[in-house]
Structure 1
Amino acid sequence: MPDRPAYARIADALRDLIRDGTHPPGTRLPTLAELSARYGVSQIVVRGAITLLRNEGLVETRRGGGTVVRVAPPTRRVAMDRYRAFDRRAGAPATAFTRDQGIGWSEYRLDREFTRTLATPELAALFELPSRTELLRRRFVFYARGEPQQISVNYLPWQLVGDTPVSDPAREPWPGGTLAQLSFLGRPPTRVEEAVRSRMPTPEEAETLGMPAGIPVIAVTRRLLSDGDVLEVCRDIVIPADRVVLDYALDLDREP
């Protein structure tokens, strides 16, 4: 497309070189001066091409280190059956997150912030409760081997969890996670619902998760139900989209 801007055409060429392995992950791209001479354009045009690639998450610019092809983080596969894939009553402590990450309990860290709040109309609709119902809000940042991997903000009815160990942040992390906590309260979950969407991260999310520009997040809204009652709403589970693959499977009835 000869009518495309020069910076976009140069970005196309560099993108192809990155994808075919000419510039593999972790290597430095030629300098601005070198690229300017190669393509016969000004350094301002080359900067525009680099900015485009950086916004796509393909490269990162390091102070004093030039422009480097970004190393993609390891991708973990997350399946819906992770909620029932292990016996939380036996063996070493674990949660769905530690199993997803393939890490032991000592490699797991959880930053937490607990507050009491009132249900907004949106949360009330998800809980199927009146607006301004009192809730416990819990914000977690999940770490695996010292690296932040996931943010979760979940809500529980204060009437259910108030003045119980579940409302005590000092008890976190809790083996088995929220499912085990609800079972501890005598209300074991009988249904899990998840709605998945993608969006760009907020500045706070990107900073917390150490995300480069141009990478979207997967945002999962989850509800845990026990015999028809909504006991937890997670709004949202936030994971960088380049670190996760969501696997879903459905058993189909055989035709008679």
Structure 2
Amino acid sequence: MDAHGTRKVRARNPTAYRARRRRSPMAKQPPAYLRVAAHLRDQIRTGRLTAGTALPTEAQLVAEYGVSITVVKGAIGALKWEGLVEGRRGSGVYVRSSHPLAQYTVDRRNVREGHPLPDVGGQWDVASQDAEAEAEIAGRLQIDLGSSVTCTTYRLSEEGRTVRLVKSWEPMRLADGTLIEWPGRGPRPDIIGRLDTIGLAVATIEERVTTRAARPDELTALNLSGHRHYVLAVARTHFLDSGRPIETADVVLPGELCEIVNTFNVG
């Protein structure tokens, strides 16, 4: 205070104040959950935690790092978001494979010249049934709404998990009563080979590839935990030389686990 009893307030130097804050050790510390995530990430990237290995339980991580359960959950959530780990219902959290599990391979070589389509490996489960064409499918196949179609679902599994979902539709009249009446059976199970056996030559294949959020049934089928996963969705249609669509399919792959490989034969 001065001689008149008035309190003097010293003006703060903003530059000096910011400098003191920058020098403060606390200002440099990232949140606890990020520190725990960084340590676990380092163990994954250096190979101390290998693909398929279960992370310690939440209780073990709380004890190991001396943090709360909330911090541990935040760290695991960050690693899930980065695609480094995945939760398995009723089992725990595991390090994910570092290589793409699902590979969507499109080989443009002519299969009728002795170049077979690539073998994607894995185990296919196939089931077919009679159905009626809904509006979207009727439009893609250029048939009347409600027309009879053969609907086939395929599931491709690799390393013990489903990595590709396919659902295809063909006009019922296409192969009714022939060797290829049911997709996935017969001497040549691939679509081009099947149609060749009844004298229908596929001339054009159209694919529309988009990304979107995984639907609830896809989260379950592809074993994707949480709600922030995306998938690659491929709408594929085979056409005859006349321009008539002969088969259409939806292919769904987990976006963070797959890669698309296109091979083109030039000349």
TM-score normalised per structure 2: 0.68
Q: Cα offset for 1:63?
A: 8.3
Aligned AA (1:49): A
Q: What is aligned with 2:49?
A: 23
Match of 1:111 among 102, 116, 126: 126
**C-alpha distance in structure 1 between counterparts of 2:80 and 2:159, whole Å:** 27
| Structure 2 gaps, min length 5 | 1-26
Please report how far the alpha carbon of residue 178 of structure 1 lies from its aligned counterpart in structure 2 after TM superposition.
1.4
Identical positions, percent: 29
**In structure 1, what is the Cα distance between the partners aligned to 2:56 and 2:207?**
45
Give the aligned residue type for 2:97.
Answer: V
If you compute each CA radius of gyration, which structure gives the higher value, 1 or 2?
2
CA RMSD of aligned residues (A): 3.9
Q: Distance in 2 between matches of 1:249 and 1:62?
A: 35
Match of residue 54 from structure 1: 80
- Match among 218, 230, 233 for residue 219 of structure 1: 233
Q: What's the counterpart of residue 120 of structure 2?
A: 100
Change (3 A) 1:72 1:201: farther
Q: Give the direction of change, closer, same or farther, for the CA distance of 1:160–1:25 in structure 2 (3 Å limit).
A: closer
Name the aligned partner's letter for residue 51 of structure 1.
G
Pick the aligned partner of 2:107 from 81, 87, 96. 81
1:247 Cα deviation from its structure 2 partner: 1.8
Q: Among 167, 173, 179, which residue is 1:153 paired with? A: 167
Q: Which moved more, 1:46-55 or 1:8-17?
A: 8-17
Q: Can you give the 5+ residue segments of structure 1 that lack an aligned partner in the other structure? A: none
What is aligned with 2:20?
A: none
> Over residues 27-70 of structure 1, what are the superposed CA-to-partner deviations in whole Å (9 max), with x where a residue is unaligned?
44455455445655312221232234235542245689764423
Tell me the amino acid that sits aligned with residue 11 of structure 1: A
> What letter corresponds to residue 67 of structure 2 in structure 1?
V
Q: Tell me: CA distance 1:135–1:215, structure 2 relative to 1, closer, same or farther (3 Å).
A: same
Query: Residues 85 and 187 of structure 1: is their aligned pair in 2 closer, same or farther, counting only changes over 3 Å?
Result: closer
Corresponding residue number in structure 2 for 1:178 = 191
How far apart are residue 144 of structure 1 and its match? 6.1
TM-score (norm 1): 0.70
In the alignment, what sits opposite 1:204?
217
Rounded to whole Å, the distance in 1 between the matches of 2:186 and 2:34 is 47
Q: Residues 48-93 of structure 1, C-alpha deviation per residue, up to 9 Å, x if partnerless? A: 32234235542245689764423346646544226635767x9xxx
